């Protein structure tokens, strides 16, 4: 596991009306602080990555469909420098992944339909000086192939 990454298995509470799923509470061990809440979608096969933040911690889950969330620890002084972590999250595996600053991450929709990722970052988005740093999904400095892996 990449240093500083934390996971929370999400509980789904179904009944005859539908379902409820809590994602992050102020009394959770994972809760740091609240910046904002937003969602992002991806169409089947689309990769959104790579990016990282210098200040912001992300709390990402997938609320519709399935996505592969991939993390890469590019922090030079981290004990897990160079490690890759994959998480398959969404309707079939409800999971919240907390991603610390400076850890590269990206998402790929792995289902047949558009997927929806929800993020609860610790910081507000700054429109004039965004804490958002990007690399192409196929950047050669990251040893990862986004292609499908059949086993």
Tell me the pLDDT of the chain (151 aa) as tens digits: 999 999 999 999 999 999 999 999 999 999 999 999 999 999 999 999 999 999 999 999 999 999 999 999 999 999 999 999 999 999 999 999 999 999 999 999 999 999 999 999 999 999 999 999 999 999 999 999 999 988 8
Q: Looking at the DSSP assignment, which residues form a beta bridge with residue 13?
A: 20
φ, ψ of residue 111 in degrees (nearest 5): -100, 180
Domain ranges of the chain: 6-134
Confidence (pTM) = 0.96
- d(CA 52, CA 71) in angstroms, rounded, equals 10
- d(CA 135, CA 52) in angstroms, rounded, equals 9
Provide the CATH number for the domain formed by 6-134 in this structure.
2.60.120.10
């Amino acid at each position: 596991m990449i240093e500083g990454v934390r996971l929370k298995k999400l509980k789904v509470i179904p009944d005859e009306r539908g379902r409820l799923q809590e994602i992050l509470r102020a009394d959770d061990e994972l809760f740091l602080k609240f910046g904002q809440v937003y969602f992002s979608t991806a169409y089947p096969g689309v990769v959104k990555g790579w990016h990282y933040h210098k200040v912001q911690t992300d709390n990402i889950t997938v609320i519709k469909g399935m996505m592969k969330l991939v993390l890469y620890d590019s922090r030079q002084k981290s004990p897990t420098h160079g490690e890759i972590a994959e998480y398959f999250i969404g309707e079939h595996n409800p999971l919240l992944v907390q991603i610390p600053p400076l850890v590269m991450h990206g998402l790929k929709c792995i289902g047949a339909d558009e997927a929806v990722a929800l993020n609860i970052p610790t910081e507000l988005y700054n429109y004039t000086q965004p804490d958002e740093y990007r690399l192409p999904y196929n950047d050669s400095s990251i040893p990862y192939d986004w292609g499908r892996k059949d086993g």
